[in-house]
Amino acid sequence: MIRRRLTGYALVLPGAAWLVVLFLIPMYLMWRLSLNSGAVESGFHFNWEWANYKEAFTLYQEQFFRSFYYAGIATVVALVIAYPLAYGIIFYGGRYKTILLLLVLAPFLTTYLIRTLAWETILSDQSPAVHLLSAVGLAPGGHVLGTAGAVIAGITYNFLPFMVLPLFASLETIDKRYLEAARDLYASPRSAFWRVTVPLSTPGIVAGALLTFIPAVGDYINANFLGGPNNRMIGNVVQGLYLTERNYPMAAALSFILMVVITVAVAIYIRVAGSRALMGDDLSELG
């Protein structure tokens, strides 16, 4: 028994050490850095400078709320697009199921940046797509690029697989006999769908929403290429502060706030969504 336990430690240790040194300690150091004062030329020093947090939040709360807003809409839109897609493939895909899923995931095997740049081309002002959107009144001002709509559309597209995969996985495991039973009990197809299929796929919906929302909040590629100066997200700000302005304490503070807010939001969400089987044994294990 002791030997088994030692084997357990031996197996877990290298990976855990890697994560402690390169994730936990960096997080801790970033938090410390966020309480530094000073400037890059004169040097930084640690002195519990909590004012950084206040200043960061006052200066950039707009980008902060915008990020959550954009990510929230994108998550909902992604769910609306992905659910019927996954449903259709699972229940109507027949022997083409695997091929269809592969087709759905294939676009995400190209480089993220290049995909986004392709959207920039598709949505540029003189393109047929934008003329079409203008004609039906979906492009006020005659352009799509440089608007919130473009950024949200980009995020939705780029994080769609994170929505499709969990939905696909949970729809696939639904026992078809439940649906047959519903029909035998004279449930209409519609009510069978809403009262059997959807509830049974809740874990997929919850997981998909999380996996889409979290990266979406921190994303800045879409805002960078598809948005304008009024669509910048918190990721753009953190990046600029770290890499260009080198205001490390302020940047660290923002990054840390983002981490905390997301963790709390996720915690509340999981509570409310109340899904036992959400992510396998991962979270229930954490008791």
Partner 1 sequence: MSVNGETALTVNRMPRAGARSPAKAIAWLRRNAIRIYVGVAIAYLLLPIAVIVLFSFNEPTGRYNLVWSGFSFDAWIHAFSVQVLTEALVNSVKLAALSAVVATALGTAMAMALVRHRFLGRRLANLLVILPMTSPEIVVGSALLSFFLIVGIPLGFETLILAHIMFSIGFSTVVVRSRLVNFDRSLEDAAADLGAGPIATFRLVTLPLIAPAIGGSLFLCFVLSLDDFVVSNFNAGTTLTFPLYVFGASQRGIPVQVNVIATMLFAGTLLIGLVAALIARRRGRTRFVAEDPEA
Partner 2 sequence: MRVNRPSVGKRRQGAPRKIGTAVAALLVLCVAVSACGSSGISGGETAESSTAKATGKASGSLTISNWPYYISPKTIPGFEKATGIKTTYLEDYNSNEEFYGKLQPLLANGESGGRSLFAGPSPYIVERMIRQGYAQKLEKNAIKTVVENASPDITNPAYDPGNKYSYPWMSGLMGIAVRTDLAPDIKSACDLFNPKYKGKVELFTEMRQTLGVIMKCMGVDFSKPITEEDWMAAVNKVKQAKEDGQLRKFAGNDWTNELLRGDVVASTGAAGDTYQLEQENPNVKWVMPEQGCIIFTNAMTIPVGAPNATAAYAFMNYVYEPKHAAQIVEYTHYLSPVAGVQQVIAKTDPELAENELVFPSKKSIAKCSPEPQLSGEMEQKVTAAWNAVING
Taking the C-alpha atoms of residue 75 and residue 84, their distance in angstroms, rounded to an integer, is 15
Asked whether the beta carbons of 219 and 155 are under 8 A apart, the reply is yes
Lookup: tokens for 174: 């639904």
8 Å CB contact between 70 and 233: yes
- By the rule CB under 8 A, 137 interacts with partner 2: no
Q: Does 15 bind partner 2 (CB under 8 A)?
A: no
Binding mask 62-81 toward partner 2 (x if CB under 8 A, else -) reads xx------------------
Nearest to 179 by CA among 87, 86, 56: 87
Look up residue 282 and give its two tokens. 């991962």
Q: Which is nearer to partner 2, 59 or 187 (CB)?
A: 59
Q: In DSSP terms, which residues pair with 43 in a beta bridge? A: 39
Query: Got the DSSP string for 150-201?
Result: HHHHHHHHHHHHHHHHHHHHHHHTS-HHHHHHHHHTT--HHHHIIIIIHHHT
Map the footprint of partner 1 across residues 257-286, applying CB under 8 A: 258-259, 262-263, 266, 279-283, 285-286
Please select the residue that binds partner 2; options are 23, 28, 48, 112, rule is CB under 8 A. Answer: 28
Contact between 173 and partner 2 per CB under 8 A: no
* Residue 286 sits in the site that holds partner 2 (CB under 8 A): yes
The interface partner of residue 232, options being partner 1, partner 2, none and the CB cut-off 5 to 8 Å by kind, is partner 2
Question: Does residue 241 contact residue 253 with C-beta atoms inside 8 Å?
Answer: no
Residues near partner 1 (CB under 8 A), total: 109
Q: CA 66 to CA 18: how far, in whole Å?
A: 34
**Residue closer to partner 1 (CB basis): 89 or 139:** 89
Binding site for partner 2 (CB under 8 A): 20, 24-25, 28-29, 32-33, 38-44, 59-60, 62-63, 124-126, 141, 143, 145-146, 228-230, 232, 236-237, 240-241, 243-246, 248, 263-264, 266-267, 270-271, 283, 286-287
